[in-house]
Amino acid sequence: MFDFADGSREQVDLLGGKGANLAEMTKLGLPVPPGFTITTEACRYYLAQGEEPQSLRVQVTMALRRLEDQLGRRLGDVQDPLLVSVRSGAKFSMPGMMETVLNVGLNDYSVKGLADAAGDERFAWDSYRRLIQMFGRTVLGMPGALFEDALEAAKRRTGARTDVELPAEELTALVESFKQVVAAHTGREFPQDPREQLDMAMRAVFDSWNTERARIYRRRERIPHDLGTAVNVCAMVFGNLGETSGTGVCFTRDPATGKPGAYGDYLGNAQGEDVVAGIRNTLSLEDFARLDPASHAELTQVMRRLETHYRDLCDIEFTVERGKLWILQTRVGKRTAAAAFRIATQLIDERLITEDEALHRVTGEQLGQLLFPQFDADAQRELLTRGMAASPGAASGKLVFDSATAVEWAGRGEDVLLCRRETTPDDLAGMVAAAGVLTSRGGKTSHAAVVARGMGRTCVCGAEELDIDVETRTVKVNGTTLTEGDVVSIDGSTGEVFTGRLPVVASPVVNYLERGLDAALAEADPETADLVRAVDRLLRHADRTRRLRVRANADTAEDATRARDMGAEGIGLCRTEHMFLGERRVLIERLVLAEEAADREAALAELLPLQRADFVALLTEMDRLPVTIRLLDPPLHEFLPDRTELAVKVAVAEARGEADPEAERLLAAVDRLRETNPMLGLRGVRLGLLVPGLYAMQVRAIAEAAAERRNAGGAPIVEIMVPLVGSVMELHLIRDEIDQIITDIAESSGAQLEIPIGTMIELPRAALTARRVAEAAEFFSFGTNDLTQTTWGFSRDDVEASIFATYLEKGVFTVSPFESLDRDGVGALIRTAVASGRETRPTIKLGVCGEHGGDPESVHFFHDAGLDYVSCSPYRVPVARLEAGRAALAADTGL
């Protein structure tokens, strides 16, 4: 228990955000009503033991007495009673998630004392009915409607349009009926003892930490469940004491846009909840200045004082009681991504913070939000349903229910949204063609979500209300049936799904990244220009500050261009598998079906020039920058036709008494390659060792492409990466072959070829034996996707849909380990591999190319682990640059 006068803002763990800031403002001498804070420690005890610590009761008594003595009034006294508010306040703000009870201390006697003291009968009874209503709902757990119905009935009886018009007698009667409602519903009278009210309200606030909505909120915001909330008990001041009273909320700058200058709402003759409830229209701060110039002037001073003290945007709740200004709450205000960037740079210019501090105050997540197109905020919209915000952006298009239709319609220039129960690798072409992806099953780490994020496609997943029928090409949702071709809009930043097409505004930040600062500024309005300048400034500061290099995962020259636009300093992972799809797939089929060496070689010979051309294009685009090309990784059956289709084909032919030898051969091949656990089967380096000529062809294509570029005057920097290595022996065997090919091509082409050969570390064994693996590897690239799968023994595509919701719910982890790196497990393997890899080969280059390379928290880990670079999808590159800068700051300056 701390009096406001005894705490400070540093004690946020113990006092919660609200309590710490009330204490800080009290220390600053601002007009804060006195009170005290019951600590989060008491809450944790209460939640664990089911009752508050004995000593707390005593401490509350002492604090209450000090408060009473200070004000010269007693809680719930029959004359001029002291009333208190009881408010929650956790370390991290959880707006609207927990409970508040106002006017504690009113009963059948003190209500009269309040009426006398205020000289306002109506006000006193209105305060009392508000107490019973709030107490009933939050402390006694009664349905709010019970009270609202009685209130409506009273309004009807008297013809009052709003609460304010209810006369005192009517409010007196209303209090009586509220009390009856309480007695009828709970079987006991509304407590008349002020201290009992206080104790019950305090417990209700403690309990509200664990309500369903609070738990959901914390999961989403990654706030730990074991912090508990503080409880702030504060002397009541009243904004509803007539025309010289009122209440409001203000921000020292605009939290929506970041525009300088105060911004706020004021409501005369009202209590705080009226402002939030939006019952009456609020006034602007300018109107408030005209209405009550003295209070406005004082508020302006308080705002300046707080902003100077906190050196940041502050969000303030205030009340004017009969011309006297009271500050009820402040905190460093939440803001949109755009406002975060603009305010941070404004504060640098105002010499209030340093560039380092400004960088610390913006996050990669916010920058990520600024990169996506958004629906025009002013547009009319009709919400259809909601799913998970899986991959940000705003997309509108015609609904299609299968990949082929998506490709076909997109081919004729239509915008389509691919709507599936869930997606599989077979849907890839449709996902590429679609403007967005919408699924009814799976979470943020489902196939749809992961792939969509990887390619920067907007995605809403797990919209469970969607009842999709692929047969009839319809989807039912909340009584509406939509058919293929109906237009829908999805917001991947909020998870919302709307009917119809909503207008979209492009991201000015992407425009800046792609075309440079001057071009972006030339066509921006002043507000947008300010934002773009802010992003440019902080991103450049991050680049100056960071030690991690940032590369991109890119497979084509087109991806590479985007990667460079976004600031990538190389390609950390070129997955060669896409080069085996499309028209080339038949060549793989031939390779797999080959019975004679000659057939196999013919297929490889046809693949070689195609691969070489791919690499020439990539190396041309990335001239002078490192490009890490990974040899083929996935199992070969992925390139063969679907087994069921083949089986049907063969059966149909047989039924007709015919034969389809081609289909039979393919089916036999599919069966031969079929694996129970393909992820753990014949893939990665194992393919290289078992399928003769495959890796050799790829290496030859890479080396020849590099030689061609060099002979053409280019400066290719290419690295060859071997996937899924578990033992150094595998790498030695493959290297023997690779080294020979490179030497041969260097000789035959006359080009000087220095092509480092390294490996992915994506199996625990590779990490644990990294000392040996480094003997044969010039670099390690941590494949944290597979390393997470294999460390946990999770098959990603299976577990995300089936067990992750429960695991998150039960707190096995607070965030999916596929989204943010599991530091304790996977992270420990990485640290081991880093240390032992460097022991063997001090100059070994270390990077990461799993999806975690673009995740803000994981980037901080990679910095701390001492990696040289992270590689992520092109769209995440700016995010990684910013976070790498912030990570270096955090490590060097503690910011």
Does 784 help bind ligand PEP (rule: CB under 6 A)? yes
Total Cβ atoms within 10 A of residue 699: 25
> Which range touches ligand PEP (CB under 6 A), out of 129-137, 432-440, 522-530, 780-788?
780-788
Does the protein bind ligand PEP through residue 274 (CB under 6 A)?
no
Secondary structure (3-state) at 2: strand
Tell me which of 762, 800, 822, 883 binds ligand PEP, using CB under 6 A: 762
Closest approach of Cβ 635 to Mg ion, in Å? 12
* Binding piece for Mg ion, criterion CB under 5 A, among 356-364, 445-453, 506-514, 762-770: 762-770
**Residue 590 in contact with ligand PEP, rule: CB under 6 A:** no
Provide the 10 A C-beta neighbour count for residue 79: 13
∠ CA 809-815-818 to the nearest 5 degrees? 125
Helices (H), 324-381: 337-349, 355-361, 364-370
User: In this structure, are residues 86 and 104 in contact, taking their beta carbons and an 8 Å threshold?
Assistant: yes
Min. distance of Cβ 624 from ligand PEP in angstroms? 24
Question: Which residue, 490 or 760, is less far from ligand PEP as judged by CB?
Answer: 760
Q: Which is nearer to Mg ion, 19 or 783 (CB)?
A: 783
- Minimum CB separation of residue 783 from ligand PEP in Å reads 3
| Angle of CA points 507, 512, 514, to nearest 5° | 95
In the bound state with ligand PEP, the residue whose beta carbon lies nearer, of 547 and 575, is 575
- 849 is annotated as an active-site residue: yes
785 binds ligand PEP (CB under 6 A): yes
Q: In the window 427-466, what residues touch ligand PEP (CB under 6 A)?
A: none
Residues with Cβ within 8 Å of 747's Cβ and at least 6 positions away in sequence, in order, are: none
Residue 559 lies near Mg ion (rule: CB under 5 A): no
Piece in contact with ligand PEP (CB under 6 A), picked from 19-27, 70-78, 655-663, 779-787: 779-787
Measured from the CB atom, the residue of 307 and 786 that comes closer to ligand PEP is 786
Provide the token pair at 542.
């991050």
Residue 258 touching ligand PEP (CB under 6 A): no
Name the CA radius of gyration of the chain, rounded.
33
Please identify, among the stretches 250-258, 267-275, 756-764, 817-825, the one whose residues bind Mg ion according to the rule CB under 5 A. 756-764
Active site residue 43: no
Closer CB to ligand PEP, residue 239 or residue 456? 456
* Among positions 99, 427, 530, 786, the unique one binding Mg ion when judged by CB under 5 A: 786
In the block, residue with structure tokens 């420690």: 41
Distance CA 134, CA 688 (A): 70
849 touching ligand PEP, by CB under 6 A: yes
List, in sequence order, every beta strand (DSSP E) within 546-608.
549-553, 571-575
**Considering CB distances under 5 to 8 angstroms, the limit depending on partner class, which of ligand PEP, Mg ion, none binds residue 573?**
ligand PEP
- Short-list 138, 574, 136, 566, CA closest to 370: 566
Cβ-proximal residues to 618 (8 Å cutoff; 6+ apart), any chain: 554, 556, 557, 560, 571, 574, 627, 629, 705
783 binds ligand PEP (CB under 6 A): yes
The amino acid at residue 314 is C
- Minimum CB distance to ligand PEP smaller for 317 or for 797: 797
Give whichever of 158 and 785 is closer to ligand PEP, judged by the CB atom: 785
CA proximity to 502, closest of 383, 371, 389, 388: 383
**Residue selected from 572, 783, 853, 878 as contacting Mg ion according to rule CB under 5 A:** 783
Q: Which of these segments, 74-82, 395-403, 521-529, 781-789, binds ligand PEP (CB under 6 A)?
A: 781-789
Quick one: which of 170, 569, 633, 800 contacts ligand PEP (CB under 6 A)? 633
Residues near 791 by beta carbon (within 8 Å), at least 6 away in sequence: 764, 822, 825, 826, 829
Burial of 793 (0-12, 13-18, 19+ CB in 10 A): exposed
Q: Kindly tell me which of 126 and 633 has the beta carbon lying closer to ligand PEP.
A: 633
| CA-based nearest residue to 717, from 761, 765, 675, 752 | 752
Residue of 296, 447, 541, 860 with catalytic role: 447
Interatomic CA distance for residues 554 and 18, integer angstroms: 46
- Active site members: 447, 849
Binding site for ligand PEP (CB under 6 A): 573, 575, 633, 762, 783-786, 849-850
Binding site for Mg ion (CB under 5 A): 762, 783, 786
